Chains A and B, each alone.
Chain A
Amino acid sequence: MEKFLEKSIPVRRKNLTFWQKLYIPAILSGLKITMTEFFKPSVTIRYPEERTVMPESFRGRPVLVAENGTERCVACGLCARVCPALAIEVQAGETELGKERYPERFEINMVRCIFCGFCEEVCPEEAIIMSQEYELVFTSQKEALFGKDKLMKPIEEVQTRLDFLRKNR
C-alpha cells in the first residue's frame, strides 16, 4: 500500500478563484456555447434524399468513355495487365472503324475492383476512367460482373473527370 502511494501521481489541484468556485459563471459560458451551436446549421446530409457532390479527384467506379455510342477503347489490354486485383477482362475484336480494334467483351468484376485507378492511369486512349459514382449494390456475385452495357457512359457525363486528368496528369 505504501509503495503504491509513493508511485501514484499526485492529483493536480488548482487554487480556484471565488468566481470559479461559484460554478455559475462557468455554467453560463457553457450555455452560451451550446446556444450558439443550437442556431448553427446542421452538417448532416439526408442521404437518400440528398447526396454528396464528389470532387473530380474522387475515384468512383470505373467506366468506359463512349463517343457517339461507341467506346473509345481499342482493346490493348493494358488495363487488364496492370489491374492489381485482376478484376478486368478484355477480349479484342476487329472493327471497320478507324481504330480497327474494339473490345468484344469488356468485363470488370466489381467485387474484385479496389478503385486504385491504375487502369485509368495506364490507358493510352483515355477510354477507361474513374467516375464520381459510389453507390454499388449487388445481391449476387453474378450481378457484380459489369459488362459493356453497364460500363459505357457518354462522354458528356464524365467531361469533368477528363478535364481534371488533362490538368493534373
Chain B
Amino acid sequence: MTADIIIEALVKIGLVLTINLTLVAYLVLAERKVSAFIQNRLGPNRVGPWGMFQSFADVGKLFFKEDIVPAAANKFVHTLAPLISISVAISTFAVIPFGNTIAINGQEYKLMIGDVNIGILFILALTSLGVYGIVLAGWSSNNKYSLLGGLRASAQMISYELSMGLSVIGVILIAGTLQLDKIVVQQGEYLWGVIPAWNIVLQPIGFITFLIASFAETNRLPFDLPEAEPELVGGYHTEYSGMKFGLFFLAEYANMITASAVIVTLYLGGWQFPFLEYLGLSPLVMTLAQMGAFAVKVALALFFFIVVRWTVPRFRYDQLMDLGWKVMLPLALANIVVTGFFLLFR
C-alpha cells in the first residue's frame, strides 16, 4: 500500500514537472512572441518553425557559457541562491489541483500531487521562501547593485505578501476550508442557477488585490523593481552568468505559471467548466475536459501576465510602497470585514 502511494506520487511528480518545465520553455517563447506582436515585430522565427526551439537553443547556450563568480563573493551562497529560487518556484505546484479524480483500473486518483489539508498555507509559505533566493543572491554577489535589488525584493515581497494573505482570507471565509481541491469543488455551484459561483464573482475586490499582489510576488513588470535594469544594472542577478542566471530566469517563469495556477484555482473556478455536467459525458472524458479547462484558464492568465508586462511601465519605489501599504492593505482588510458581515447576516 505504501509502495502504491509512493509510485502514484512519483508518477504525478514526474508528469507535472515535465509539463511544467516544457511550459516554462514555451512561456519564454510566448513572452517574446507576444511582445513582438505588440510592437508589430515578428519575434524569434529562426530556430525551428515559428521559433519553436528557440528556448532550447538558449538554454543550450547558457550551459556552455562561462560561469563567473566574483572574487569577493560568498561562493557557497552564490551557488545556493538560484537553487533556492528554482526549487521553490517548481515545488509550489505540488498542492494545486489540476483536475478532478481520475479512475484507472477501478481505482480513483486525485489529480494533485500533495493532497494536504493546508494547501493555501503551503502556497503562501513557499512563495515567501522564494524571497530568500533573491536576497541571498543580492547579498552573496558582493555588489552594491545586487544588494539593492535584494533589499528591494525583500521589502516589496513582505509588503505585498501581507495583502496577498489577507485577500486569500476572503476566499477561505467563503469556502470554510484551506484545502484547495475543496475550494475548487465549491466553485462548481451556481448562483441563482445561472452564474457559476466562482470566487471572482463573490470576491471581486479580493481578486483584484490578489492579482496585483501576485504580480508583485512574481517580480513581473509593473513591480520588477528588484531587477530594474535601467537603475540597478540587473538587480540581484547582475553578478550571475551561465546556467546560474538561467536558473533565475527559469524560476521567474515557473513562478508565473504557479501564480497563474493559484489565481485560477482560488478565483477562476480551478478545473471547473460551467454547465459541463449537464452534457452527460462519461467520467473519463469529463475529467479530461476539466483538465483542458484548467489548462486554458492558466494559459489565459499567463497571457494576461505577459500583456500587462508590455503595457504598464515600472512603478517608482515610493509609488510601489504607497500602493502596497495605503491602498492594497486597507482594501484587503475592508474585503475581509465586508465578507465576514455578509456571511454572518445572510
Interface membership of A53, Cβ < 8 A: no
Interface membership of B26, Cβ < 8 A: no
A30 touches B311 (CB 8 A): yes
Interface membership of B310, Cβ < 8 A: yes
B312 touches A42 (CB 8 A): no
Interface membership of B346, Cβ < 8 A: no
Say which size band chain A's interface belongs to. 10 to 19
A34 touches B307 (CB 8 A): yes
B41 touches A44 (CB 8 A): yes
Interface membership of B34, Cβ < 8 A: yes
Chain A residue at minimal CB-CB distance from B309: A34
A46 to B41, CA, bound (A): 10
B307 touches A31 (CB 8 A): yes
Fill in one digit per residue for B33-56: 1 if any A CB lies within 8 Å of its CB, else 0. Answer: 010111111100100000000000
Say which size band chain B's interface belongs to. 10 to 19
Interface membership of B233, Cβ < 8 A: no
A42 touches B311 (CB 8 A): no
Interface membership of B308, Cβ < 8 A: yes
Given contacts A30-B312, A31-B308, A31-B311, contact A42 B41 (CB under 8 A): yes
**Chain A residues near B312 (CB-CB < 8 A):** 27, 30
Given contacts A31-B307, A35-B307, contact A42 B42 (CB under 8 A): yes
What is the CB-to-nearest-CB distance from A36 to chain B, in angstroms, rounded to a whole number?
A: 10
What is the CB-to-nearest-CB distance from A47 to chain B, in angstroms, rounded to a whole number?
A: 11
Which listed residue (B40, B42, B45) contacts A37, Cβ 8 A? Answer: B40
A51 to B147, CA, bound (A): 48
Which listed residue (B36, B208, B308, B323) contacts A42, Cβ 8 A? Answer: B36
A26 to B254, CA, bound (A): 29
B38 touches A42 (CB 8 A): no
**Chain B residues near A33 (CB-CB < 8 A):** 311
A46 touches B45 (CB 8 A): yes
What is the CB-to-nearest-CB distance from A76 to chain B, in angstroms, rounded to a whole number?
A: 49
B42 touches A44 (CB 8 A): yes
A40 to B41, CA, bound (A): 10
Interface membership of A4, Cβ < 8 A: no
What is the CB-to-nearest-CB distance from A35 to chain B, in angstroms, rounded to a whole number?
A: 7
Chain B residue at minimal CB-CB distance from A24: B208
Chain A residue at minimal CB-CB distance from B307: A34
A42 touches B40 (CB 8 A): yes
**Chain A residues near B37 (CB-CB < 8 A):** 37-39, 42
**Chain A residues near B208 (CB-CB < 8 A):** 24
Chain B residue at minimal CB-CB distance from A32: B311
Within 8 A of A (CB), among B140-160: none
Interface membership of A43, Cβ < 8 A: yes
A23 to B39, CA, bound (A): 23
Could you name 7 residue pairs across A and B whose Cβ atoms are closer than 8 Å?
Answer: A30-B311, A31-B307, A38-B37, A39-B37, A40-B40, A42-B40, A46-B42
A sample of 19 more A-B contacts (CB under 8 A), given A24-B208, A37-B39, A46-B45, is A23-B323, A27-B311, A30-B312, A31-B307, A34-B307, A34-B310, A35-B307, A37-B38, A37-B40, A38-B34, A38-B37, A38-B38, A38-B307, A39-B37, A40-B40, A42-B36, A42-B42, A44-B40, A44-B41
